[in-house]
Homo-oligomer: A and B are copies of this chain.
């Protein structure tokens, strides 16, 4: 055990939360497992967060920052409005194990007070992502690259769905699935669906 400042511990905990959920799933996220990874005792976690939910919440904040950071780097001056989305899809492989946290938590939700915090955080996160994608599509719609009657909100969710579907299949096959090949096909279908 090494004594750390609350701020350092909180960060460390958020990072570990994402790693555990990403690699081992929500069901395997236990306070003993988390504490062991940081070389402290389970009850020590409660010095820094008031509950497991709060720790998950901190993990989601970190995830949002990371994902939005990647979106931010994809801004481009290209005439092709779809370019940032295609690049984001390409980069996805680099942060695949972190993004899996998103659907894992989304599909853990239920109409239950226990999940209120979790759900609110997810919604703000998802809204931010979808708005960013919609804005990109809107730009293409205005410059005539995409269909005039395109529902950019629905299209944004469909785009996000490419990542979700590929992760779903990856999980189900236990990793025996060519994610990149699928994303390529799905992207071609997406472009065909939204273009003029």
| Contacts from A to B (Cβ < 8 Å) | 23-28, 100, 103-104, 106-112, 114-115, 119, 122-123, 126, 151, 154-155, 157-158, 160-162, 164-169, 171-175, 181-182, 185-186, 189-190, 192-194
Contacts and interface: CB of A to CB of B under 8 A. Distances in A.
Given A165-B157, A192-B193, A172 B109 contact: yes
Contacts of A110: 23-25, 27-28, 171
A23 B172 CA distance: 22
Copies assembled: 2
Contact of A25 (B108, B175, B190): B108
B154 A182 contact: yes
Nearest to A186: B158
B174 A168 contact: no
A179 to B, nearest CB: 11
Contact of A27 (B108, B182, B193): B108
Contact of A103 (B25, B107, B162, B189): B107
